[in-house]
Structure 1
Amino acid sequence: MSSESEAAVAAGRGEVAVPRPVRAATLSLLGSELLTLFRRRRTWALLGALALIPILIGVAIRVAGDSPSGRGPAFLDQITNNGLFVGVTAMLVATPLFLPLTIGVVAGDTIAGEASHGTLRYLLIAPAGRIRLLVVKYLTAAAFCAAGALTVVVAGTVVGWALFPIGPVTLLSGTSVSVGEALLRFLAIAVYVTVSLLGMSAIGLFLSTLTTVPVGAMAATAILAVVSQILDALPQLEALHPWLFTHYWLGFGDLLRDPIVWSSFADNALLQAGYLVVFGSLAVGRFLTKDVLS
């Protein structure tokens, strides 16, 4: 069936038809962007830095022993009894600062990096143009969010398995679950953190459309994450807290309860979706009027 026939059939059903060549071009561009991202030494350096966090935590606890009770990140004093807690502790350390820094680098470089290298105009030659490119760039940044979160969890699990005893995990509610179920919950934590970073990625995409200097967009994205967390820590601004994109970042502890409390996950996803809609729209509005061909 031809593209025109497909479009006619879809129109008769009340659907919006996407011509096959455009779909193929979009998937091809997405694949190319993902390959480019994960072939860069910078990307692997960022992921390596994230993997270093659980490694340092595991080695430090192995060498120095338990920390005094109540000091340090949550679950730190549980690591010597069960190495699976290395990944959770590392996620608590990485989420407020290190993950935002790496996401800021990738998201801030999406459009500004192409503009600075003079390759942006060539990417816009293909059909579907600017909106298609923005969607692909955002999906690439989102893929890095998932890769970063999984790196921390997987590296933490491997390090904990290698250095400490492994066994059933005692949850925050006091009940114990098997190693298999605990690993599934840790995977859910990686998904939670990935979702948490999607709003920040949208902000970085928008900032990247404002400049041809990638470092500026990278720094601004990371700084906004820090500022949001500072505002979230001020009780005088309590009314503002639920609207800050970092507000639910550490809410993944609810996934370590029995039964799992999904409300924080849902609230976080809804908040990040709101930021995606707002800053995605701003990015589209800016990029559609941006002169990149002169």
Structure 2
Amino acid sequence: MRRNGRPTLLITGSNGQLGFELRRSLACLGEVIALDRAACDIAEREHVRTLLVRHRPDVVVNAAAYTAVDQAEQDSSTASLVNGIAPRWLAETTRDLGGLFVHYSTDYVFDGRHTRPYTEDDTPTPISVYGKTKLEGERAVMAAGGPAIVLRTAWLAGAHGSNFLKTILARARTHERLQVVANQIGTPTTAALVADATAHILARHWLAGDPSAFPTGVYHLAAGGETSWHAYACEILRFARACGATLQAGPDDVEACISQDPPSQAVRPAYAVLDSTRLCDTFGVRLPSWEQGIHWLVEQLIS
């Protein structure tokens, strides 16, 4: 509910790598209520509803999720609750309060059999429990019937929290050789880019626009281009060294290997590049190449 003419924006999962960036990017739009898991466990239905009714936000941005991809294979009930069922509760309550619901999903809703970027018109066929539960959440959010937008992103990396980029930098400081998978293709996307694009969409098309004309639906939001995990790791180390980082391993010390998923772990999509054209055309968002975003993030981490 608007207070002193300023909208209220509520973030769940505010302490994750995306939630952390959303706290920054949304701060200029209004009053931000940032709730981490301790303050708002989205798996607790009545608690969530009570919180939302108390604050009556104009926008609810759900950055909370079960992201332990391998663990989800053995803990499907919890993954389904957090990723699939809880988003429906959030979306329904937000709808009842007259607000907009923003939800995030993943490239893992696709099976990775394509050889060209996936569009929103491609049929999702997830091959892991994580991907299946995230697709369940997407469909539940849209079925709630209120103003809502689902943003699918991929290979997220941020300055806060754990991710591949930070792991590669840490290992390169103490190891002379690294081994990285080369047969999985995607698009590294910074959490800052996703957060900034979200703020742009809200500022231009919801808070300052006609809410009844807001283009609800599912959109892809990923940086431009594509790469393998191996080439990604090489570029991280190349640029880090160019920026003066002291590393034991450089790009020539990264060995390419082929992924062989153990039976106990989730199967990853071999090709999971997202085409973000629809988002750019609909909301006027400009997305940089993955290299630009990763260079910026590396500079932040080693400075």
Pairwise TM-score range, normalised by the shorter structure: under 0.3
Q: Which structure dedicates a bigger proportion of its chain to helix?
A: 1
Q: Which structure dedicates a bigger proportion of its chain to strand?
A: 2
TM-score for the superposition, normalised by structure 1: 0.27
TM-score for the superposition, normalised by structure 2: 0.27
